[in-house]
Amino acid sequence: MSTGDNSMRPLQFGVTCYEQGLVEPGYILFAPAGGSECYLLGERGDIAHQWRLPGKLGNYGQLLENGNLLVSIKQGGGPKLVAGGGRLLELDPQGDIVWEHTDLSQHHDFSPTHDNNVLYLAWELTPSKEADRVKGGIPNSDHEDGGIYEDVLREVDRDGKIVWEWKLKDHFPYDKYSLRPTTNRHEFAHANACHVQADGNILVSFRQIDLIVLVNRQTSEIDWEMEDRSWGGQHDCQRLDNNNIILFANGSEQPAPEHSRILEIDPNSKDIVWQYKGQPTVTFSSPRVSGVHRMANGNTFICEGMHGRLFEVTQAGEIVWEYVSPFYNTVPQIGTTNQIFRARKYSKNDRRLSILFQN
């Protein structure tokens, strides 16, 4: 598996492409991995706003409807696994904490719900003696804590009370999906995205088994699922306004040369109805992290996370805006990097921006 060698430094930083008139006007929110800052970036590369976090970044941040920042930071003391956070914070525009919730098992993603709660991903340890239901992986490679960590969806209210919980072990069809033979059995199945849809149901991405599922918030059943090993460990699945699903297909552990793709999928036929690839394909490749979302004008905003590259493409695949992060930090097990887990672009007329700038 390629690790995306960060010794391959970009030749230029900042805004490297800007096709005014073709770009969706707006601002980009991103947080450099290993740092303690979150930036709101203008299209010309100017820092329009900045939050200083009270700790090291967990994974990323997003704007809430009230203009505040919802972000995860590393708390320490949780399971020794990749992409742990442990502490969720809501920060006002001045950086003051207005809400926080600590759960040492919190990891990767989180999402506000329609009733002002917060849904997030968490881990729960399944002892080795009960973990036979997890198929595949490297034999005898359970986590040092004595089992396999499995994923949980957990929703908390403003008081930190758990109001809903969904455990993988209670609902997952283990007989249908297994770990790759080269994957250790530290966890199953490495959930990395939880997207709350307009109807309250939740799209969840499981990277280790190239699977996305739709969890019914009312029944807790899996209403829909799709697996495709060619995705190579996907990230950031979301439901679009046209009911299709968009995701970042990382392309790890695929035939050389490895490359990433952006896929828009019809959930009924499971056909790819639109995709973006680099030209040539090796010019777009991030085996880990990364994200994507669709803009109001039909453009697609992409975070090629391992190289700190953010860019926007048209429906025809033309790059109309590009930015390479100049912010480097030291990240354990990676080294010095400008990596970005995920970024979001907000349209200029987004109400969240209006509230933020008024403060």
Strand partners, 106: 122
What's the rounded Cα separation, in Å, for the pair 277 and 262?
Answer: 7
Q: What pLDDT does 8 receive?
A: 55
Q: Is residue 280 part of a domain?
A: no
Taking the C-alpha atoms of residue 347 and residue 200, their distance in angstroms, rounded to an integer, is: 23
Asked whether the predicted pLDDT for residue 242 surpasses 90, the reply is yes
pLDDT digits (tens, 9 = 90+) for 318-353: 999 999 999 999 999 899 999 999 999 999 999 999
Expressed as residue numbers, the domain containing 138 is 105-274
79 is a domain residue: no
Alpha-carbon distance values, 49 to 66, 92, 100 (Å): 16, 12, 21
Predicted confidence at residue 10, as pLDDT, reads 66
Look at residue 3 in the predicted model and tell me its pLDDT.
36
C-alpha to C-alpha distance for 344 and 303, rounded to whole angstroms: 8
Cα distance between residue 345 and residue 300, in whole Å: 10
Instruction: Provide the CATH number for the domain around residue 199.
Output: 2.120.10.30
pLDDT the model gives residue 7: 45
Q: Is residue 68 part of a domain?
A: no
Lowest mean pLDDT across 97-101, 122-126, 253-257, 335-339 = 253-257
* Nearest of 230, 234, 197 to residue 212 by alpha carbon: 234
Q: How many independent structural domains does the chain possess?
A: 1
CA distance 345 to 26: 7
In a domain, 140, yes or no: yes
Place of tokens 């696994």: 81
pLDDT in tens, 288-314: 999 999 999 999 999 999 999 999 999
192-224 pLDDT, tens digit each: 999 999 999 999 999 999 999 999 999 999 999
Range with lowest mean pLDDT among 9-18, 51-60, 152-161:
9-18
Give CA separation, 263 vs 228, 277, 319, 342, in Å.
12, 9, 16, 17
Q: What is the pLDDT of residue 325?
A: 98
Domain membership of residue 130 (yes or no) is: yes
Residue at 112 is within a domain: yes
Residue 11 pLDDT more than 80?
A: no
**Could you tell me which of 215, 212, 233, 244 has the C-alpha nearest to residue 155?**
215
pLDDT at 245 > cutoff 90: yes
Does residue 256 have a pLDDT over 60? yes
User: Looking at residue 174, what DSSP letter applies?
Assistant: T
